[in-house]
């Protein structure tokens, strides 16, 4: 198996992307992808570290995609003790109960679907039933990479968002296809970087997708061939020429930049952006949403339509910071906003180290320290 893996790794770079996509639609590469991610993790096998003088010990929940490595890097740079724990183990309750950690840092696994579901309900039990401090919170992780949940949460809290229909009845969805205006956007419930997004131009194309969704199911591009989402359809109004902003809050720090469209006309996953200073109304909306949800780690992707309407398109509690590596630049310099005494204050500095995990870990450590002071005072 090891020889086959190395042989495939050697030749995979010569395989055209179109061929790769065809292969992945027919064959599961989960084992290969997992091994590749583990080998790319510089802390693979490093399950714990104790630092002299560390006030806290953090449990780092292992992510199958290996993004938890950024929490490890953050803890090591900040000299904070940690333990890496698997929430997918059968005896995870005992392990998490006896690990002696003050709080748990999470980069939730979002694929395959079975692991997304496992993370969601086990984080709920960890936080709500076992009384453990989880960061980001269970709710933030539960809303992440699940578009129907987020749409309902936005509606329940009267937060403006694109007009969206979620049908769990095939006949209702087909009736909608007959009367809908086109184009529309169809999305799978999960699927990052636009991997489950399609712009549908007419009712015949939409009817075909609806029948597939209620039959064999829809599969985001990056998912294993048998990991299909079925029994519902998520349809969103198409907004032409929108300007999309990625706004971010971590603790008391706020960031923003404008996404730009790729060749397919979709902003998400385009890896194109502009360093434009976000307007106050975008900062205010991001602050409002995170206050309503009690979110301390959240990206809020916002549409600004041709008519000037501001609509929340997506929210994710964690996200990659590779392209771009920082989340805001003003006059060519990395920066952040903080909200002080009723106004926004700009501050220059590097606040996005290790995919913003340094900022997350610092925020959690400060929260625990303040909470400890409050307990002593009382």
In a domain, 267, yes or no: yes
- Tokens in use for 286? 């991001």
In a domain, 58, yes or no: yes
| Burial (CB count <10 Å: 0-12, 13-18, 19+), residue 30 | middle
Report the domain count for the chain.
Answer: 4
User: Does 230 lie in the same domain as 268?
Assistant: no
- Tokens in use for 311? 């609509």
Beta-bridge mates of residue 314: 301
User: Does 201 lie in the same domain as 116?
Assistant: no
CA distance 56 to 80: 7
Beta-bridge mates of residue 297: 250
Domain boundary among 237, 256, 282: 237
User: Does 172 lie in the same domain as 262?
Assistant: no
Q: Which CATH number do you get for residue 230?
A: 3.30.1490.20
pLDDT of residue 233: 97
Q: Is 207 helix (H, G, I), strand (E, B) or coil?
A: helix
Q: Is 189 helix (H, G, I), strand (E, B) or coil?
A: coil
Beta-bridge mates of residue 106: 61
pLDDT of residue 21: 63
In a domain, 372, yes or no: no
User: Does 324 lie in the same domain as 305?
Assistant: yes
| Burial (CB count <10 Å: 0-12, 13-18, 19+), residue 204 | exposed
CA distance 299 to 256: 9
Sign of CA dihedral 223, 39, 121, 252: negative
pLDDT tens digits in sequence order for the chain, 378 residues long: 454 455 556 556 666 766 666 666 666 667 777 888 889 999 998 999 999 999 999 999 999 999 999 999 999 999 999 999 999 999 999 999 999 999 999 999 998 899 999 999 999 999 999 999 999 999 999 999 999 999 999 999 999 999 999 999 999 999 999 999 999 999 999 876 667 899 999 999 999 999 999 999 999 887 888 899 999 999 999 999 999 999 999 999 999 999 997 554 555 555 789 999 999 999 999 999 999 999 999 999 999 999 999 999 999 999 989 889 999 999 999 999 999 999 999 999 999 999 999 999 999 999 999 987 654 444
Tell me the pTM. Answer: 0.90
CA distance 351 to 18: 37
User: Does 340 lie in the same domain as 255?
Assistant: yes
User: Does 169 lie in the same domain as 193?
Assistant: yes
Q: ∠ CA(196), CA(165), CA(289), 5° rounding?
A: 80
Local structure of residue 85 (DSSP, 8 states): E
User: Does 256 lie in the same domain as 196?
Assistant: no
User: Does 351 lie in the same domain as 267?
Assistant: yes
What backbone torsions phi and psi does residue 8 show, to the nearest 5 degrees?
-65, -40
- Tokens in use for 323? 């392209």
User: Does 45 lie in the same domain as 35?
Assistant: no
In a domain, 156, yes or no: no
| Burial (CB count <10 Å: 0-12, 13-18, 19+), residue 343 | exposed
Pair 145, 190: CB distance under 8 Å: yes
Local structure of residue 181 (DSSP, 8 states): -
Structural domain boundaries, residue 344 = 243-364
Token look-up 């003790």 returns: 81
CA distance 270 to 277: 20
Q: Which CATH number do you get for residue 286?
A: 3.30.470.20
Q: Do the strands 103-106 and 57-61 form a parallel or antiparallel pair, or are they unpaired?
A: parallel
pLDDT of residue 143: 97
User: Does 223 lie in the same domain as 179?
Assistant: yes
H-state helical runs in 267-318 = 280-293
Q: Do the strands 297-304 and 243-250 form a parallel or antiparallel pair, or are they unpaired?
A: antiparallel
Pair 107, 70: CB distance under 8 Å: yes
pLDDT of residue 86: 97
Pair 161, 313: CB distance under 8 Å: yes
In a domain, 89, yes or no: yes
């Amino acid at each position: 198996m090891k020889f086959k893996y190395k042989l495939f790794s050697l030749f995979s770079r010569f395989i055209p992307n179109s061929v790769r996509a065809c292969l992945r639609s027919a064959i599961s590469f989960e084992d290969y992808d997992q091994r590749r991610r583990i080998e790319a993790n510089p802390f693979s096998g490093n399950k714990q570290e104790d630092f002299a003088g560390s006030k806290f010990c953090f449990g780092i929940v292992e992510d199958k995609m290996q993004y938890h490595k950024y929490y490890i890097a953050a803890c090591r740079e900040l000299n904070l003790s940690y333990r890496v724990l698997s929430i997918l183990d059968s005896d995870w309750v005992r392990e998490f109960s006896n690990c002696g950690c003050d709080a748990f840092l999470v980069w939730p696994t979002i694929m395959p679907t079975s692991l997304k579901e496992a993370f969601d309900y086990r984080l709920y039990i960890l936080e709500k039933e076992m009384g453990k401090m989880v960061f980001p919170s269970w709710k933030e992780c539960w809303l992440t990479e699940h578009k129907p949940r987020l749409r309902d949460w936005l509606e329940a809290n009267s937060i403006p968002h694109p007009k969206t229909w979620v049908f769990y009845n095939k006949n209702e969805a087909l009736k909608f296809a007959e009367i809908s205006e086109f184009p529309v956007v169809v999305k799978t419930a999960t699927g990052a970087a636009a991997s489950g997004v399609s712009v549908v131009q007419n009712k015949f194309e939409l009817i075909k997708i609806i029948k597939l969704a209620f039959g064999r199911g829809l599969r985001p591009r990056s998912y294993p061939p048998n990991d299909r989402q079925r029994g519902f359809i998520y349809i969103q109004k198409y907004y032409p020429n929108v300007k999309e902003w990625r706004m971010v809050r971590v603790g008391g720090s706020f960031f923003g930049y404008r996404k730009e469209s790729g060749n397919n006309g979709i902003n998400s996953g385009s890896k194109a952006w502009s360093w434009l200073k976000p307007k106050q109304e975008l900062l205010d909306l991001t602050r409002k949403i995170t206050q309503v949800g009690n979110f301390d780690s959240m990206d809020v992707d916002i549409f600004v339509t041709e008519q000037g309407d501001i609509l929340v398109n997506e929210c994710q509690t964690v996200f990659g910071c590779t392209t771009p590596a920082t989340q805001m630049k003003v006059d060519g310099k990395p920066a952040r906003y903080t909200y002080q005494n009723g106004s926004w204050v700009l501050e220059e500095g590097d606040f996005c180290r290790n995919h913003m995990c340094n900022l997350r870990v610092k925020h959690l450590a400060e929260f625990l320290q303040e909470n400890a002071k409050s307990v002593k005072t009382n």
